[in-house]
Structure 1
């Protein structure tokens, strides 16, 4: 199991501990009793929001009856999770980036901007400067480098399967000026040719729709345990939805957006028109 950053390790650790607990038929209350803590702490550990010491991990391994190989993996993850995370991105965003790193598939609706995984370097730089004017140029460049590193997920040997619906406004807003935006649209056009990327545009003519006023990311995770997480972001923070009924609403909303959007085969032509209109 590859480990890249402490936030990734925290999420993987939490997933694995939850899987082991459920396989052993143990409750969160039983785990809390073993660690002499409150049930909410177990919940935070299992969702990757809190770390756990190697000693406490061993108590849970014994409680769940995990084999030696699994136990070593869990202890390793616990050690990695407690290391200091990178300072390149805000603390509140680190969990999302970790989830993105281990996700096998994502569904995205964006009404305002191109999702990070599909941004060009110049577009990312313009967005970073526009959304927060306080960072120094050096800090901006570090954030841009991090974002560009993340785009490798859709080009790797085991690529992320990415389904995106963009509001037409995303194509019509000239972020960074005409040249930067034209390059970004051209990059999106190229991305539509990737077998693991699906891109649709929700036209203005669609009128009112199910996700008005919202943007969201649905992340599907297969390992070390199957899970679906919804991420929503505002100006200064991000939030996560892990309630099954609420997740289903987001999944249903995305399907409705896909139906209301242009067909995937029409996306390239839509992008070409947007590029011509920039001149």
Structure 2
């Protein structure tokens, strides 16, 4: 069973609030509908029930039929498959999180972040994967990353704050002309109103960011907590515990404080 999407989790929370307003336990709400407590619990964390069960819950929670349309629309949206499913990607991992996020903060030490890469750069990165990719898989990865980049320019617009270590800008991943194209692309992206780009200069010396990459995603829904995503050599870790996410936010702030401001960061990239 795949992880519930953000719209499904939102709908589950809404059903939970409706139940609680009536002072019902999960058992009391579900028993007349032949729904077990475990099924009610799954529904309220975002695992969608069959359509007729959903309608039965609306009726159980005294929602008048004339008001059902907005709930049915929310249900249909929660059932929609993300575009990434067409590329063979499930609901696990960071991509579905990014697709629903309104703000993403990313720190990259070794590479330029994916949403800011040119196609030539991403091809070199994918070609250097620890497990070599077959040509068809590589093309699929490139197509997915290019699609992800649309969030920077197409509604719903993503607010994106990227911090890059100068080391990543100087790595000779590309030839001279392609490298210059990548740096120009960074400057163009940095001038978008929804993009903030900072560079940690080499003269900062040793700092905790040298141990790995970090992403923090935030959402418009105030009840949807921030999610942190930490990448390492063997994969990545998806972090939701508030204490750990708070530590990730503090780490990102520390990296931002060490980095050049936006104007000086762009000036550094222009010199390179």
TM-score for both structures, normalised by structure 2 = 0.80
Structure 1 stretches of at least 4 aligned residues deviating more than 6 Å after TM superposition: none
Among 16, 19, 22, the alignment partner of 1:21 is 16
In the alignment, which residue of structure 2 is the partner of 1:244? Answer: 242
Q: Give how far 1:113 is off.
A: 1.1
2:99 and 2:141 map into 1 onto residues whose CA distance is 16
Work out the number of aligned pairs and report it: 263
Structure 1 position 266, deviation (Å) = 0.3
Q: Is the 8 A contact 2:11 2:75 kept in 1?
A: no
Q: Counterpart of 1:165? A: 163
**Are residues 100 and 157 of structure 1, via their aligned partners in 2, closer, same or farther at CA, if it must alter by over 3 Å?**
same
Contact 1:57-1:78 at 8 Å conserved across structures: no
Structure 2 matches for 1:59-208, cutoff 5 A? 61=58, 67-81=67-81, 86=85, 88=87, 90-91=89-90, 94-208=92-206
User: What RMSD, in angstroms, separates the aligned Cα atoms of the two structures?
Assistant: 3.4
CA drift of 1:72 comes to 0.8
Deviations along 1:154-212, one digit per CA (max 9) or x if unpaired, are 11244211111111211111223333322111110111211111110112322333444
Q: What is the DSSP-based 3-state SS (H/G/I as helix, E as strand, rest coil) of the residue aligned with 2:5? A: helix
CA distance in 1, matches of 2:27, 2:270: 56
SS across alignment from 1:131: coil
Q: What secondary structure sits across from 1:153 in the alignment?
A: helix
SS class of match (1:232)? strand
Structure 2, unaligned runs of 5 or more: none
Q: Distance in 2 between matches of 1:232 and 1:96?
A: 10
Q: In structure 1, the residue corresponding to 2:125 is in which secondary structure?
A: helix
Show structure 1 runs of 5+ residues with no match. 1-6, 275-279
**Higher gyration radius (CA):** 2
The structural deviation recorded for 1:223 is 4.4
Task: Give the C-alpha shift of residue 138 in structure 1.
Answer: 2.6
Distance 1:156 1:31, change over 3 A: farther
Secondary structure in 2 matching 1:113: coil
User: Using a 3 Å threshold, how does the CA distance of structure 1 residues 135 and 212 change in structure 2: closer, same or farther?
Assistant: closer
| Match in the other structure for 1:54 | 51
Q: Secondary structure, in 3 states, of the residue corresponding to 2:168? A: helix
Matches of 1:232 and 1:63, distance apart in 2? 42
Contact preservation (8 Å) 2:6, 2:100: no
Per-residue CA deviation, residues 69-95 of structure 1 (Å, 9 max, x unaligned), is 3431343245435x9962635547x54
Corresponding residue for residue 36 of structure 1:
36
Q: CA separation in 1, counterparts of 2:195 and 2:9?
A: 29
For the residue of structure 1 that corresponds to 2:211, the secondary structure is coil
CA–CA distance in 2 between the matches of 1:40 and 1:20?
Answer: 10
SS at match of 1:25: helix
User: Aligned partners of 2:193 and 2:221: how far apart in 1?
Assistant: 22
Structure 1 length normalisation: TM-score? Answer: 0.78
C-alpha separation in 1, matches of 2:27 and 2:117: 43
Task: Report if aligned partners of 2:110, 2:165 keep a CA contact under 8 Å in 1.
Answer: yes
